[in-house]
Amino acid sequence: MPRLKVSLFEGQPLFDVASYARGGPGRRDRLSPGQLAQISRTVRRAPEAVVKVLPRDANNFSSVGRHLGYIGRYGELAVEDDDGHSRQGKGIGRALMEDWDLDLDEHRRQSDLAAVGGRRPPKLVHKLMLSMPAGTPPQAVLAAARNFLREEFALRHRYAFVLHTDEPHPHVHAVVKAVSEKGVRLHIRKATLREWRREFARHLRAQGVEANATERAVRGESRTHKIDGIYRPMRDPKRYSTHILKKTQSVAADMLRGGIRADPDKATLLETRKEVERGWQAVSNILIAQSQPELAADVRRFVDHMSPVQTEREAIAEALRARTHGPRVPQQQPIR
């Protein structure tokens, strides 16, 4: 199995065994003030900033209008644009689309599609959501999102955004035009999302909100965000993930037969956990050598209290048992 790399620090891998868990020319033996602050936030479990790209769904001219109408709650909420203007009313979607010349983009898109044939059409817009956990001041989330969007897209890609507070966690919906004013298409990759999370967290901290941006594995979390799909139908029967629904039905059938099947992904998750723990141990050793014994002790406690490794099927089974107030699914403890 190839060596796994799990990132903690901004822009560089933390748990690269070659540089942290053994000696050698590439070994780093001092941590910068920024890295110390990142470690402190992580082991104190500071709230994690979230930046998501919403599902593609239909991305044609009419569907973009419907989405813009939805985020503005069909005229109830004011939508802020990249010029700093607030727009409100039922016609907000159409007005923005005309301002952004999306009708021309749609025409080009359809022309290219007819010429090539069979190819998936490119997006007209990207639909983003920036959020923080319940209890975060909504106006701070809005201000951080505004500053993040300005730094990332101003004078390049047209965008509009609005704060939603209808759920416990305050979140901002943003719509970003996929093609810039100079004709450059915005491509969003995993590395892009990681960088956006770090930047959004930085803007939140500038607003006085403690916010972090670390990878799930670094925090000892193996549960996937897709598990939330189990709970959506409980809140709104119209919202559900077909993928999660099928998995849930499969796990439920296994439970009725006496237990869930072994998951081949478990071995990979356990190997990742071992490497994460080795990396944290190496960081703890560096902290001690750097006269940071209290933070080193916090790191050890953090690792000791990591949740057991859990596959998606195990998480689904646990969620189903919790619904019926049954016992927790026995979990295998992490290998040290």
Residue-level pLDDT at 325: 63
Give residue 107's pLDDT band: very low, low, confident or very high (50, 70, 90).
confident
Per-residue pLDDT for 112 more than 90?
no
In whole angstroms, give the CA distance from residue 82 to residue 98: 14
Is the pLDDT higher at 325 or at 249?
A: 249
In whole angstroms, give the CA distance from residue 160 to residue 102: 14
pTM over 0.85: no
Q: What are the two backbone dihedrals, phi and then psi, of residue 248, each rounded to the nearest 5 degrees?
A: -65, -40
CB 100 within 8 A of CB 92: no
Side by side, which strands form the sheet with 171-177?
50-53, 125-131, 171-177, 159-164, 79-81, 86-87
Is the pLDDT higher at 336 or at 131?
A: 131
Q: In the chain, what are the domains?
A: 1-46+219-336 (no CATH), 50-206 (3.30.930.30)
**Sequence-ordered list of residues with C-beta below 8 angstroms from that of 189, at least 6 positions apart, any chain:** none
Per-residue pLDDT for 22 more than 60?
no
Give residue 62's pLDDT band: very low, low, confident or very high (50, 70, 90).
confident
163-167 average pLDDT score: 95
Per-residue pLDDT for 335 more than 70?
no
Length of the chain: 336
Give residue 311's pLDDT band: very low, low, confident or very high (50, 70, 90).
confident
Residue-level pLDDT at 227: 46
